[in-house]
């Protein structure tokens, strides 16, 4: 379908206050949407359903599901000519927010020195006026701006309205092939990805890699670590290591999600101590920020080879079951005509509180520049 028909259908569904998710995966041109047929709230408990999940930071809370068999699926090719985007932000600093964030980072460093945890991710929420009617326009701007991100707009009248452009895969499962990534360490992009990283960032990211490898050792029959690379996400750079392997039999989606989420990229290490610190001290509810979202158990026909001489072989192309989940970062919630922008960063023993504040300011620009 054309992009304009696609967005008309989304707008109609949104007007009727019916649940939907529209999304474009990293480096793809296809924008897909699942339009749920009623405003019923479905959950998945075992991750064996087929559909799109939206899961909160608190792993004990319910994961919302848009079931594939209760939704209409539509798609279009992304039309990048549709919007002009970036505005320059005036740099007014909210001094009390800054003081509060710095105090919490200092408190986290004290806990690290006391040995309670090695790393904790401290976050905050910023509020901007935003008319809800501009939601789909904002989604189009995110699509046009962040080609390498998972860009989404998610709505359920009983849960909320969220948008984001996240660089982080929680996991991808294709048949028994498994892929995840360790993503941490942040610096601002200044026209090159050829940059030096301080030992603070390298160690912080290594903690995440080690945790992922350790957590998955019993679930994967072989683990391959890619090289650690610098990747660009909007105006930021991160360190990324891809981790892949083959899932052993009886290791379902639910068990690997339970092992990974929330990873030290968004929570901390050890996981439980860091999580308790976050819940007790951050002073607000993260809700779906640093949760995860994406397709689960979607059947996709795989043609083996696109070479024309192999046309006959294509008839035997298999059907694969694919799940692709992303960590909900660089996101915002729209509520009462306000945009709530969620941002955080990993704190370790070497963190400098002022720099940690600056990092959250830089992260907030990913979505704030487009409001
Ligand atoms: C927590 C966020 O990002 C995470 C934290 C990072 C860091 O501490 O350097 C980098 C990428 C993400 O894993 C966020 O964007 O809010």
User: Which ligand 1 atom minimizes the distance to the CA of 344?
Assistant: 16
Query: Cβ contacts of residue 282 below 8 Å, gap of 6+?
Result: 104, 122, 123, 124
Q: Which of 1-10, 26-35, 246-255, 316-325 has the lowest mean pLDDT?
A: 316-325
pLDDT surpasses 90 at 37:
yes
Residue 287 CB contacts under 8 Å (≥ 6 apart), including other chains: 56, 57, 160, 333
- The confidence band for 98, taking pLDDT boundaries of 50, 70 and 90, is very high
Tell me if 65 CB under 6 Å of ligand 1: no
Residues 199-213: tens digit of each pLDDT:
999 999 999 999 999
C-alpha 248/C-alpha 251 separation (Å) is: 6
250 confidence band (pLDDT: 50, 70, 90): confident
What is the complex's ipTM, to 2 decimals?
0.98
Q: Please give the pLDDT value at position 133.
A: 95
Cβ–ligand 1 contact at 291 (below 6 Å):
no
Query: CA–CA distance from 361 to each of 181, 182, 255, 265 (Å)?
Result: 24, 22, 35, 18
The confidence score (pLDDT) of residue 79 equals: 80
Sorting pLDDT into bands at 50, 70 and 90, what band is 22? very high
Q: What is the mean pLDDT of residues 342-356?
A: 96
Mean pLDDT confidence for 147-155: 97
- Contact in structure between 49 and 252 (CB atoms under 8 Å): no
Q: Pick the atom of ligand 1 nearest to 290's CA.
A: 1
Query: Taking 90 as the threshold, does the pLDDT of residue 81 lie above it?
Result: no
Q: Is the pLDDT of residue 90 over 90?
A: no
Check residue 301 and give its pLDDT.
85
> From the CA of 249, how far away is ligand 1's center (Å)?
32
Q: Which atom of ligand 1 is nearest to the CA of 183?
A: 13
CA of 173 to the centre of ligand 1 (A): 23
Token output for 275:
């999580």
Q: Does residue 185 line the site of ligand 1, with CB under 6 A?
A: yes
Label residues 66-85 b or e (16+ Cβ within 10 Å = b). Answer: bbbebbeebebebbeeebee
At 310 the pLDDT is 54
Q: Which DSSP string do the residues of 130-146 spell out, in sequence order?
A: --GGGHHHHHHHHHHH-
Q: Hey, how many other C-beta atoms are within 10 angstroms of the C-beta on 154? A: 25
pLDDT for 223 equals 94
Residue 187 to residues 81, 194, 202, 203, 255, Cα–Cα distance (Å): 30, 12, 12, 15, 33
Best residue among 231, 275, 345 to mutate for probing ligand 1's pocket (most ligand atoms within 8 Å of CB) is 345
Q: How far apart are CA 12 and CA 77, in angstroms?
A: 19
d(CA 118, CA 351): 11
What is the reported pLDDT for 89? 60
pTM of the prediction? Answer: 0.94
Q: Is the CB of 184 under 6 A from ligand 1?
A: yes
What secondary structure letter does DSSP report for 63? E
Q: Supply 63's token pair.
A: 């994961």
Which one has a higher pLDDT value, 216 or 95? Answer: 216
Q: Residue 95's pLDDT is what?
A: 85
The number of the ligand 1 atom at minimal distance from the alpha carbon of 343 is 16
- Does 353 sit in the ligand 1 pocket, CB within 6 Å? no
Cβ of 345 below 6 Å from ligand 1? yes
* 296-324 burial: b if 16+ Cβ within 10 Å, else e: bbbeeeeeeeeeeeeeeeeeeeeeeebbb
Q: Which ligand 1 atom lies nearest to the CA of residue 363?
A: 15
Least confident of 35-49, 62-76, 87-101, 135-149: 87-101
Interval 269-279 mean pLDDT:
97
Tell me: the pLDDT tens digits for 99-142?
999 999 999 999 999 999 999 999 999 999 999 999 999 999 99
Cα–Cα separations (whole angstroms), residue 357 to 11, 29, 186, 246, 352: 37, 35, 12, 39, 9
The tokens describing 219, both together, are 């679930």
Closest to 370 measured CA to CA, from 24, 126, 139, 155: 139
Please state the rounded mean pLDDT for residues 81-86. 60
Is residue 329 lining ligand 1, measured as CB closer than 6 Å? yes
Instruction: Please give the structure tokens belonging to residue 332.
Output: 């915002």
The neighbouring-strand residues paired with 296 are 51
Q: Ligand 1 atom closest to Cα of 265?
A: 13
Q: What's the pLDDT band for 304 if we cut at 50, 70, 90? A: low
SS3 state of residue 343: strand
For residue 122, list its beta bridge partners: 345
Cβ–Cβ under 8 Å, residues 301 and 326: no
First to last CA, the chain: 27
Q: ∠ at Cα 152 (34, 62), nearest 5°?
A: 70
Mean pLDDT of the chain: 93
Q: Which residues contact 130 (CB under 8 A, 6 or more apart)?
A: 138, 334, 337, 338, 339, 371
Above 70 in pLDDT, residue 264? yes
Percentage of the residues of the chain whose pLDDT score is greater than 90:
87
pLDDT class for 78, splitting at 50, 70, 90?
confident
Q: What is the pLDDT of residue 82?
A: 56
Non-local CB neighbours of 238 within 8 Å, separated by 6+ positions: 167, 183, 184, 185, 186, 230, 231
pLDDT band at 178 (very low <50, low <70, confident <90, very high): very high
């Amino acid at each position: 379908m054309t992009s304009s028909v696609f967005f008309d259908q989304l707008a109609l569904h949104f007007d009727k206050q019916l649940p939907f998710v529209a999304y474009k995966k990293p480096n793809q041109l296809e924008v897909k949407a699942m339009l749920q047929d009623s405003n019923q709230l479905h959950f998945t408990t075992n991750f064996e359903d087929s559909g799109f999940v939206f899961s909160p930071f608190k792993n004990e809370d319910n994961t919302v599901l848009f079931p594939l068999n209760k939704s209409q699926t539509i798609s279009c090719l992304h039309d990048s000519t549709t919007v002009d985007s970036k505005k320059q932000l005036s740099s007014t600093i909210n001094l009390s927010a800054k003081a509060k964030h710095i105090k919490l980072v200092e408190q986290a460093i004290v806990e690290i020195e006391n040995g309670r945890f090695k790393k904790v991710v401290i976050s905050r929420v910023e509020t901007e006026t935003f008319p809800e009617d501009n939601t789909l326009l904002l989604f189009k701007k995110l699509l046009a701006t962040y080609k390498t991100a998972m860009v989404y707009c998610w709505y359920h009248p009983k849960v909320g309205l969220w948008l984001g452009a996240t660089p982080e895969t929680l996991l991808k499962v294709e048949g028994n092939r498994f892929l995840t990534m360790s993503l941490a360490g942040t610096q601002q992009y200044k026209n090159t990805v050829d940059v030096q990283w301080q030992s603070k960032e390298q160690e912080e990211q290594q903690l995440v890699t080690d945790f992922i490898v350790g957590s998955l050792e019993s679930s994967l029959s072989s683990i391959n670590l890619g090289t650690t690379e610098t990747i660009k996400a909007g105006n930021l750079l991160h360190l990324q290591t891809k981790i892949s392997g083959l899932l052993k039999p009886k290791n379902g989606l639910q068990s690997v999600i339970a092992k990974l989420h929330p990873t030290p990229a968004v929570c901390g290490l050890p996981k439980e101590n860091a999580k308790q610190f976050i819940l007790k001290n951050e002073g607000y509810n993260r809700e779906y920020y640093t949760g995860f979202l994406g397709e689960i158990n979607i059947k996709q026909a795989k043609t083996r080879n696109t070479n024309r001489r192999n046309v006959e072989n294509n008839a035997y192309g298999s059907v694969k079951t694919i799940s692709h989940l992303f960590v909900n970062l660089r996101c915002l919630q729209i509520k009462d005509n306000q945009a709530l922008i969620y941002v955080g960063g990993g704190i370790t023993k070497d963190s400098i509180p002022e720099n940690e504040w600056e990092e959250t300011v830089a992260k907030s620009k990913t979505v704030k520049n487009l409001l």
